[in-house]
Amino acid sequence: MPSQQDVVAALAGIMGPDGRTPLPQSGVLGGVVVREDRVFVSLEVQAVRAAEAEPMRAAVERAVSALPGVGKAFVTLTTPSKGEAGAAPRPAPTPAPTPAHDHGHHHGHDHGHSHAAAAPGPGPKAQAARTAQGVPGVRTIIAVASGKGGVGKSTTSANLALALRNLGQKVAVLDADIYGPSMPRLFGLKQKPEVIEGKTMRPLEAFGLKIMSIGFLVEEETPMIWRGPMVMSAITQMLREVAWGDVDIMVVDMPPGTGDAQLTMAQSVPLAGSVIVSTPQDLALIDARRGIAMFRRTEVPILGIVENMSTFVCPHCGTKTDIFSHGGAQHEAERLGVPYLGEVPLALPIRETSDAGRPIVVADPQGPHAQAYMGIAQRLMATLQGSRSRPAPRIVTE
């Protein structure tokens, strides 16, 4: 397996955008990460220069792929977070020390640090706009998001996707939660995707769904200690270099927070909208509001809010207990003027079937918990009817 230094050395023979400066010193090499036999490289260029930078990207991919021990090279053009890519040379990246905070345990924390998220909204000083391009074969893309971790977003994504399949849709699931991918466990998948046609991967399949996750490419206990550009690169490649085929709806399981991953999705593809998952207590709803505000800032419609872990019903005595309160998400939806898609109870069978790799919609399709997801899917489909032809979002940076 090559080291990061081996990869950087292999790129020294490739010239940067000016045609004279070696790429590692040109200022466009955003990051290099080596994971087993897979190498991730991000090249930072302005969006308006992406087309002319494609030959450079292809040359980097060939050079990295030729290194001994490299099974797959992921090389992606990303937009720099600030400044002008290539404006001033910078030293080649060196391995960063492992931070004291373990980014592999991400729940409740926002690991993206996006300058765009903190900037003011579109105004008279707006200088550039970027139009997203669709994913071939995929007609509708929805993001399932939350403002914080631990609210059951991934479980909701998996069961929602299965419920949409039960409604006759061809469904794919993209696990965009790079720091904490859950889809391999939720669907009981352990194998690695097959690489076809050079650099294109074939998604794994389970219960009639097409699924892709970074968790298929690394070991389950491997921490993803990545900075923003590498996260953006991985998400872009899982969108663009996967043979998705014919898909009616792609459900994207987003990481919690409002960072690079969310902005990458908003910029990379024309999202039909987002579904916000929250538990009903005030603390979770505060973070949900941030997620809603972020999607509105990037002109992505809010398709609805789901209240998860809504009510606990004792399996022995039938007593209902509102452990995390009740009705908070519905009240928030009414306050914000967005659809309320429904609630899912806090129930042991949902947790047990999720851990077993057979989500409740598959394990007990006629049960009350599966029917709760079916109701949410039906209301979501009704909301989607008027948004399938929505134009790509216009992302404006200052």
CATH of the domain at 73: 3.30.300.130
If asked whether residues 68 and 217 sit together in one domain, one would say no
If asked whether residues 185 and 301 sit together in one domain, one would say yes
Question: Would you say residue 109 lies in a domain?
Answer: no
Question: Would you say residue 335 lies in a domain?
Answer: yes
Q: Which helix (H) or strand (E) holds 357?
A: none
If asked whether residues 258 and 343 sit together in one domain, one would say yes
Question: Would you say residue 344 lies in a domain?
Answer: yes
| Number of helices followed by number of strands (H, E) in the chain | 12, 17
Question: Would you say residue 117 lies in a domain?
Answer: no
If asked whether residues 45 and 149 sit together in one domain, one would say no
Q: Residue 188 — φ and ψ, nearest 5°? A: 65, 35
pLDDT score of 386: 57
If asked whether residues 167 and 311 sit together in one domain, one would say yes
**Closest to 205 (Cα-Cα) out of 219, 215, 191:** 191
pLDDT score of 344: 93
pLDDT score of 204: 96
Residue list for the binding site for ATP: 147-154
Domain finish residue from 46, 63, 78: 78
pLDDT score of 362: 96
If asked whether residues 149 and 248 sit together in one domain, one would say yes
Question: Would you say residue 101 lies in a domain?
Answer: no
Write the CB contacts of 107 (distance below 8 Å, at least 6 apart in sequence). Answer: 148, 149, 150, 180, 256
CATH of the domain at 178: 3.40.50.300
If asked whether residues 43 and 170 sit together in one domain, one would say no
If asked whether residues 192 and 298 sit together in one domain, one would say yes
pLDDT score of 306: 93
Sign of CA dihedral 157, 163, 164, 170: positive
Q: How far apart are CA 364 and CA 267, in angstroms?
A: 38
pLDDT score of 91: 40
Residue list for the binding site: 147-154
Domain finish residue from 34, 59, 78: 78
Question: Would you say residue 53 lies in a domain?
Answer: yes
- Domain ranges, residue 242: 141-389
Give the C-alpha distances (Å, rounded to integers) separating 146 from 90, 92, 120, 174, 308.
Answer: 36, 36, 22, 16, 11
Question: Would you say residue 51 lies in a domain?
Answer: yes
Burial degree of 82 (CB within 10 A; 0-12, 13-18, 19+)? exposed
pLDDT score of 127: 28
The number of domains in the chain is: 2
pLDDT score of 122: 37
Question: Would you say residue 92 lies in a domain?
Answer: no
If asked whether residues 63 and 195 sit together in one domain, one would say no
If asked whether residues 33 and 169 sit together in one domain, one would say no
**Mean pLDDT by groups of 10 residues along the chain of 398 residues:** 88 91 88 80 78 87 91 76 40 39 37 35 32 80 82 93 96 90 93 84 95 86 68 83 94 78 73 88 67 76 89 80 77 84 92 95 95 95 68 41
Q: How many CA atoms lie within 13 A of 279 on its CB side?
A: 18
If asked whether residues 190 and 59 sit together in one domain, one would say no
If asked whether residues 230 and 305 sit together in one domain, one would say yes
Which tokens is 244 given?
Answer: 């998705």
Domain finish residue from 52, 78, 104: 78
Q: How far apart are CA 376 and CA 160, in angstroms?
A: 7
If you count them, how many residues does the chain have? 398
